[in-house]
Amino acid sequence: MASEQLRAPGSKPGENMLWGGRFTGLSHCGLDPLMVSYNESIYYDRAFHTQDILGSIAWARANYKAGILTASEFSAIESGLKKVEGEWVAGTFKIIPGVDEDIHTANERRLGEIIGKEVGGKLHTGRSRNEQVATDMRLWLRDELRKIEVFLVDFLKVTAARAEQEIDLIMPGYTHLQRAQPIRWSHWMLSYGMAFASDLERLREVIARVNLSPLGAGALAGNCFGVNREAMAKELGFEGLLWNSMAAVSSRDFVLETMQWGTMLMTHLSRWSEDLIIYGTGEFSFVRLADAYSTGSSLMPQKKNSDSLELLRGKTGRAFGQMAGLTMTIKGLPSTYNKDLQESVEPMLDHVKTVSDSIRIATGVLSTLAVNPEKMRASLDPFMLATDLADYLVRKGVPFRETHHISGQCVAFSEKSKIPMDQMKLTDFQAIDSRFSQDILDCFSYETSVEFHSAAGGTAKKSVEDQIKVMKSILE
DSSP 2: H
Answer left, alpha or beta for residue 232, where phi above 0 means left and psi between -120 and 50 means alpha: alpha
SS3 381: coil
Q: Which CATH code fits 130-378?
A: 1.20.200.10
In angstroms, the CA 374 to CA 434 distance is 36
Q: Which CATH number fits domain 2-125: 3.30.70.1450, 2.30.40.10, 3.40.1190.20, 1.10.275.10?
A: 1.10.275.10
**Where exactly are the structural domains of the chain?**
2-125, 130-378, 382-444
* Mean pLDDT confidence for 257-268: 98
CB 155 within 8 A of CB 366: yes
Q: For position 18, what pLDDT does the model report?
A: 59
Catalytic residue among 79, 297, 417, 454: 297
DSSP states of 310-360 as a string? HHHHHHHHHHHHHHHHHHHHHTTPPSS--GGGGGGHHHHHHHHHHHHHHHH
Contacts of 186 (CB under 8 A, 6+ apart): 162, 163, 164, 166, 167, 169, 464, 468
End-to-end Cα distance, the chain: 62
How confident is residue 21, by pLDDT bands cut at 50, 70 and 90? low
104 is catalytic: no
Catalytic residue among 11, 72, 75, 176: 176
CA distances from 207 to 67, 210, 266, 388 (A): 34, 5, 18, 46
Q: For position 1, what pLDDT does the model report?
A: 32
Residue type, 48: F
Q: What's the pLDDT tens digit per position in 413-449?
A: 999 999 999 999 999 999 999 999 999 998 899 999 9
pTM over 0.95: no
Third-level CATH fold of 382-444: Ribonucleotide Reductase Protein R1; domain 1 (1.10.40)
- Judged by average pLDDT, the poorest of 24-33, 158-167, 191-200 is 24-33
For residue 89, is pLDDT > 90? yes
Encode 195-242 in three state secondary structure: HHHHHHHHHHHHHHHHCCECCCCCCCCCCCCCCCHHHHHHHCCCCCEC
176 is catalytic: yes
